[in-house]
A = this chain, B = another copy of it.
């Protein structure tokens, strides 16, 4: 069949495949929210589109819906008032299974073509999505734009590129000729058909509804699987827009729009578990707590389950050339989106006897105070600070700040409430820095939010041993380290490679340990308890389809 969407985006796809192979810098979707990239008026139109969504049913027609659901509250202090059509899990799976029958036959070019056109149209709606992300997650606008828009789209495209690469390596057909000495060879014609696994389920989170959902969504869609997108009840709108776009593209291309459905539901019900245990659901992508992720891995045995869960991220400070730059970089990492990131650093290991710097030795207390001062300086101007911290997504984060305070550890820098100049009802908190000793039990758990422990260790060797043991036991998505010593750097790498965590060394400028770049940095390794897969690699996509061959003599 003719495939206008595939042909339209083929050059982009080839770029993406090459970028993933080289791992050099590449991003097709501009992270700059400037008119030069997105056109004059795009910012205003996006804001207006977001405002137009409020206080009414969302414009999404899902056949089989029974009633509307939705109670999203912006962390910046207002109810969104948007409702979404709700379908029962059994209806969602039944409609997805029906859609599978024709979608499976469309083949890789159609699957990939549709996926690419969806990404293209999502990019054009990046401003609208940015507002939707901001007012569900609490991210500052710039982060909501970048992480929720182009960076999420990059990750989606990356997954499509891997999927395409895995699919095209299977030849459609081959003539197999086996020599038989002086006799005629045995000749067989063989055809290889790519078949999807079945119905896919994507379970979103409330902090990165698009960024964390797009890899699984696009990996499954591009390999022929119909996808049920189940957003977190606190962050539905960004994925509702995504599903709306996908269904428009599917319909235009002549496919059943039910290839992509939205499973909006009320907080606290059992929609996720019911969907996850349906025998027709064969792929699950999940981002969230270890408890829920481990539950899925244990119980959803009929499905391939890809999880990103909790972890304890760490930074080792051994020796530095410019302490102020180190402290500035780390302070930003602590404050960014109030630490509500799966990659945010939590435990900062510093030898009790201090560290070496270009300006001479620094005591442990000087390092700890230096980090605290950098945080205080970063958040000194509330108007600037709130753009970095954003707002607190939910009560549980506030509760954790209180619980951390109640540990009785020495406070290096207390968490402050800030007044947001534009959103007076927003709940804004600056980072809490506590001093802890290496053996303290509190550092052996995740404190998701703006909570940091500066941990006194016996030595850098001890710091490294602690990081390795913690990654093995609790998992981690990021590891930072500062050292001017080649020997220590090699010890750090060995520990990182043994425990399976990505290492960022000596970040002092505009790259932060909590950020990864699509096409170059793997997000997660799949080699420690924080995630059972990496975004993205062959392993992440290669099992989402299978090959069925037919052979006959010629």
Residues of B within 8 A of A507 (CB): 552-553
* Copies of this protein, total: 2
Chain B CB within 10 A, most for which of A298, A526, A549: A549
Residue from B508, B542, B548 in contact with A502 in the complex, judged by beta carbons closer than 8 Å = B548
Residues of B within 8 A of A537 (CB): 542, 547
Chain B proximity of A95: nearest CB distance (Å):
18
Complex interface residues of chain A between 151 and 196 (CB less than 8 A to chain B)? 166, 169-171, 174-179, 186, 188, 190, 192-193, 195
Contact B547 A186 (CB under 8 A): no
Residues of B within 8 A of A503 (CB): 548-551
Contact B522 A547 (CB under 8 A): yes
Residue from B25, B493, B553 in contact with A550 in the complex, judged by beta carbons closer than 8 Å = B493
A21 at the interface (CB under 8 A from B): yes
Residues of B within 8 A of A197 (CB): 527
**What sequence of 0s and 1s flags, for each residue 13-32 of chain A, a beta carbon within 8 Å of any chain B beta carbon?**
00000000111110000000
C-alpha spacing A190/B24, complex, angstroms: 9
Residues of B within 8 A of A176 (CB): 23-25, 517, 520
Contact A546 B521 (CB under 8 A): no
Residues of B within 8 A of A437 (CB): none
Residues of B within 8 A of A166 (CB): 538
C-alpha spacing A81/B507, complex, angstroms: 64
C-alpha spacing A364/B301, complex, angstroms: 42
Residues of B within 8 A of A186 (CB): 509-511
Chain B proximity of A148: nearest CB distance (Å):
20
A500 at the interface (CB under 8 A from B): yes
Residues of B within 8 A of A525 (CB): 546-548
Residues of B within 8 A of A550 (CB): 493, 496, 502-505
Complex interface residues of chain A between 518 and 554 (CB less than 8 A to chain B)? 520-522, 525-527, 534, 537-539, 542-543, 546-553
Residue from B23, B188, B543 in contact with A171 in the complex, judged by beta carbons closer than 8 Å = B23
Residues of B within 8 A of A505 (CB): 550-552
Contact B175 A527 (CB under 8 A): no
Chain B proximity of A192: nearest CB distance (Å):
7
C-alpha spacing A497/B546, complex, angstroms: 9
Instruction: Give A contacts to B, CB under 8 Å.
Output: 21-25, 104, 166, 169-171, 174-179, 186, 188, 190, 192-193, 195, 197, 297-298, 301, 493, 496-498, 500-511, 517, 520-522, 525-527, 534, 537-539, 542-543, 546-553
Give 24 CB contacts A-B under 8 Å: A23-B176, A23-B192, A24-B174, A24-B175, A25-B179, A166-B538, A176-B517, A186-B511, A193-B493, A195-B527, A197-B527, A298-B301, A500-B546, A502-B549, A503-B548, A504-B552, A506-B553, A507-B553, A521-B549, A521-B551, A522-B547, A525-B547, A538-B542, A539-B543
Known contacts A104-B498, A506-B553, then 18 further A-B pairs from the complex at CB < 8 Å, ordered by chain A residue: A23-B174, A24-B175, A174-B520, A178-B517, A193-B493, A298-B301, A493-B550, A502-B551, A503-B548, A503-B549, A504-B552, A505-B550, A511-B553, A521-B551, A525-B547, A526-B546, A538-B542, A542-B542
